Amino acid sequence: MGEAIVITSGKGGVGKTTTTANLGTALALQNKKVCLIDTDIGLRNLDVILGLENRIIYDLVDTVEGRCKIQQALVKDKRFDDLLFLLPAAQTSDKNAVTPQQMAKLVEELKLDFDYVLIDCPAGIEQGYKNAVAGADKAIVVTTPEISAVRDADRIIGLLEKEEIEPPRLIINRIRPQLMKNGDSMDVNEITTHLSIDLLGIIPDDEQVIRSSNKGEPIVMEPSTQAAIAYRNIVRRILGESVPLMSLENEHKGVFSKIKALFAK
Amino acid sequence: MTTKQLVLIKGTKEGLVLQLDDQCAYSDLLDELKRKVTEDGLEGQAEVTIHVGNRYCNQEQLKEILHIVQQSKHLKVSKIKSDVITVEECNQKLLKSQSATYIGIVRSGQELRADGDLVVIGDVNPNGKVIAGGSIYVMGRLKGMAHAGVEGNRECVIAASWLEATHLMIADLMELMTNEVTILAEKPEMECAYIHPNGHIAIDRLQDLRILRPNLSTFKGGS
């Protein structure tokens, strides 16, 4: 029996879908059988980021309305043999096409076959959010160091605490170390004390993420980048390892400071 | 049959007291009361307090008694005293005098209400709201909205380990904590908001509370 994790944020554009795609891929790289569910009915994206857009035949709404079997709607990612699957959202309906009860039942069935079921939640706190949370055992809240994203994360955490799921954990996405260092954006410590939930990981802002998303290849597949390492660290933490938070300072060190550091030893 | 007086008129330092018997039938009492207040022998105009003793009278009955006494042009009722209240009223009063404790974080969009004092152990985040009939004490950071003395008690205060609220309300007053407000401290640690005698909400150090609002202390004994 696997576990279902919902990935949510409240605010849009903070990187829920990118995070879902990357965590799913990284879990598959760790030999876990993973199913990703896109619950953003009407505005599906997850298939595009995974590069699976062309292979969709049936979708989430077809499944819950009984037009196909769950297995028929699942899209297999051929890069991972039988480890990574996507249940895409419908593009032609809206959020009200599915009820939380139907979602809970669907997730329950998927948990029998998969080690992890990751649910990509749409932005907002309406029907789409309620559907996404319905079947989840755990929750991950994604935020960025912007004050507006943190406010919305606070609201969503309040709502999640009312659900019968474990206390949510936090991912701070798109961190720009220089801004944080200069005090121009909230720092990691400030955000975690404000939201007072456990920190699952931090991900630096990286152009490479955008580039690879546009190619339909999640960034974790290029392990040399900092963002990929950050996502892989998060997955190791999800699997129960204790991995220290990555330091964001090192990357932008110039030659001069490297030499200085040498002498400092 | 003993002729016990059902209505006694006594003189005290505070004025006349109409002591009503609380054992006899209500109708007998009314008859007696009517007779007493229309009796001759009363002169001038006197302030009078009505004691109904251990008899429970509902609002209608109290009005009826008041009406009878007011028929006499010599008596002016200042107040009606009763030794009993219903269990329901008592429970309500109890709620108002109790302090409710909440442990946790009041997050954006959440609202916390208490009839009496409210103690929050945890933060009140922006867009979170705490409302109390009495005072509000936050052991944590108050960064949202707080409304103390919601039913009009202007003696209530809002105290917090870190007072960085966006809106402070006490009774019927409201203060927006904008940048223009000069009462904000650089480091708003251990502070309390209260209604200043000048009619505005003021913020002071928490240590000054025992001078500003000595009545808030309910502690008995000690040295």
pLDDT digits (tens, 9 = 90+) for B148-203: 999 999 999 999 999 999 999 999 999 988 876 666 667 889 999 999 999 999 99
Q: Which residues of A touch B126 (CB under 8 A)?
A: 151, 154
> Which run of H or of E encompasses B130?
strand B129-132
Phi-psi region of A216 (alpha: psi -120 to 50; beta: other; left: phi over 0): left
Give the containing element (helix H, strand E) for A200.
Answer: strand A198-204
Among chain A residues, CA nearest to B144: A151
pLDDT at A260 over 70: no
Give the domain extent around A106: 3-264
For the segment A95-109, the average pLDDT, to the nearest whole number, is 95
Q: Which of B138, B201, B198, B199 is nearest to B167 (CA)?
A: B201
CA distance A151 to chain B (A): 7
Model confidence at A246, pLDDT cuts 50, 70, 90, reads confident
Count of domains observed in chain A: 1
A196 touches chain B (CB under 8 A): yes
Chain B positions touching A194 (Cβ under 8 A) are 123, 125
B49 with B97, same domain: the answer is no
The answer to whether residue B74 is domain-embedded is yes
Q: Does B121 share its domain with B198?
A: yes
Q: How far apart are CA B64 and CA A147, in angstroms?
A: 62
Domain identity same for B173 and B108: yes
Q: Per the structure, how many domains does chain B have?
A: 2
Contact call for B108 and A194, based on CB within 8 A: no
The residue-averaged pLDDT of A136-149 equals: 96
Distance CA B77, CA B50 (A): 7
Q: Check residue A72 and give its pLDDT.
A: 94
Residue that wins the pLDDT comparison between B57 and A129:
A129
What is the mean pLDDT of the segment spanning A163-180? 94
**Residue B116: pLDDT above 90?**
yes
The answer to whether A158 contacts chain B (CB < 8 Å) is yes
Q: Which domain holds residue B210?
A: 91-216
Res. A194 pLDDT band, cuts 50 70 90: very high
Do B107 and A155 make contact, defined as CB atoms within 8 angstroms? Answer: yes
Residue B63 shares a structural domain with residue B128: no
Of the three residues B61, B81, B101, the one that is the final residue of a domain is: B81
Residues of A in contact with B122 (CB under 8 A): 196
Residue A138 pLDDT: 96
Q: How many degrees, rounded to 5, is the angle at CA B99 between CA B95 and CA B104?
A: 120
**Mean of pLDDT values over A127-135:** 95
**Final residue of a domain: which of B35, B53, B81?**
B81
**Beta bridge pairs of residue B130:** B112, B146
- Mean pLDDT within A176-190: 92
* Predicted pLDDT of residue A253: 54
B77 and B100 housed in the same domain: no
Give me the pLDDT at residue A254, please: 61
Residue of A nearest to B106 (CA): A158
CA nearest to A155 within chain B: B108
| Rounded CA separation A250/B89 (Å) | 67
pLDDT higher than threshold 80 for residue B104: yes
Query: Does the distance separating the beta carbons of B126 and A154 come in below 8 Å?
Result: yes
Domain with B39 in it: what CATH number? 3.30.750
**Nearest-angstrom CA–CA distance, B76 and B37:** 11
Q: Is residue A170 predicted with pLDDT exceeding 50?
A: yes
The per-residue pLDDT of chain B, averaged, comes to 88
Q: State whether residue B19 is helix, strand or coil.
A: strand
Residues of B in contact with A155 (CB under 8 A): 107-109, 127
- Average pLDDT of the segment spanning A202-221: 93
Shared domain check, B124 and B173 = yes
- Taking an 8 Å cut-off on Cβ atoms, the answer to whether A151 and B105 are in contact is no
Q: Does the CB of A151 have a partner CB in chain B at under 8 Å?
A: yes
Same domain, B45 and B114: no
Is B222 part of a structural domain of the chain?
no
Out of B105, B108, B110, name the one closest to residue A151 (CB).
Answer: B108
Nearest CB to A196 within list B108, B123, B128: B123
Is B36 inside a domain boundary?
yes
In whole angstroms, what is the distance from residue B167 CA to residue B26 CA?
52
Q: Do A158 and B110 touch (CB under 8 A)?
A: yes
Residue-level pLDDT at B1: 47
**Residue of A11, A141, A155 to mutate, testing the B interface (most B Cβ within 10 Å of its Cβ):** A155
Average pLDDT over residues A14-29: 96
Contact call for A196 and B108, based on CB within 8 A:
no
Which pLDDT value is given to residue B62? 87
Identify the three-state secondary structure at position A144: coil
Give the ipTM: 0.80
Q: Which of B81, B102, B131 corresponds to the end of one domain?
A: B81
- Closest residue to B108, CB basis, from A155, A161, A196: A155
Mean pLDDT, residues B45-69 taken together: 86
Lowest-pLDDT range of A48-52, A249-253, B82-86:
A249-253
Dihedral sign computed on CA atoms, order B192, B194, B196, B199: positive
Tens of pLDDT, residue by residue over A144-156, are: 999 999 999 999 9
The whole-number pLDDT of residue A255 equals: 63
Select the residue of A159, A161, A194 nearest B125 (Cβ to Cβ). Answer: A194
- Asked whether residue B1 is assigned to any structural domain, the reply reads no
The pLDDT value given to residue A265: 54
A148 touches chain B (CB under 8 A): no
CATH number at residue A36: 3.40.50.300
Diameter of chain A measured on Cα atoms: 69
Mean pLDDT of chain A: 92
Q: Helices (DSSP H) in B71-165: which residue ranges?
A: 87-97
Q: Same domain for B109 and B17?
A: no
Locate all alpha helices (DSSP H) within B42-171, ordered by sequence: 59-70, 87-97
Q: Is A141 in the B-facing interface, judged by CB distances under 8 Å?
A: no
Predicted pLDDT at B98: 85
Chain B hits for A158, Cβ within 8 Å? 105, 107-110, 128
**How far are the Cα atoms of B129, B171, B204 from residue B116, in angstroms, in the given order?**
16, 13, 23
Decide: A173 and A204 in contact? Cβ < 8 Å: no
| Angstrom distance (rounded) from CA A8 to CA A128 | 11
Task: Determine what percent of chain A is predicted with pLDDT higher than 70.
Answer: 94
Q: What does the pLDDT look like over B122-146, one tens digit per residue?
A: 999 999 999 999 999 999 999 999 9
Edge-first strand order for the sheet with B201-205 is B99-103, B117-121, B136-142, B158-163, B189-195, B201-205
Q: Is the pLDDT of residue B36 over 90?
A: no
Please state, in angstroms and rounded to a whole number, the distance separating the CA atoms of residues A94 and A265.
60
What average pLDDT score do residues A153-164 get? 94
Residues of chain B contacting residue A126, judged by C-beta atoms under 8 Å apart = none
What type of residue sits at position A110?
A: L
Answer yes or no: do A154 and B127 touch at CB < 8 A.
Answer: yes
Band the pLDDT of B23: cuts 50, 70, 90.
confident
Residue B193 distance to chain A (closest CA, Å):
23
Check whether residue B178 and residue B136 sit in a common domain. Answer: yes
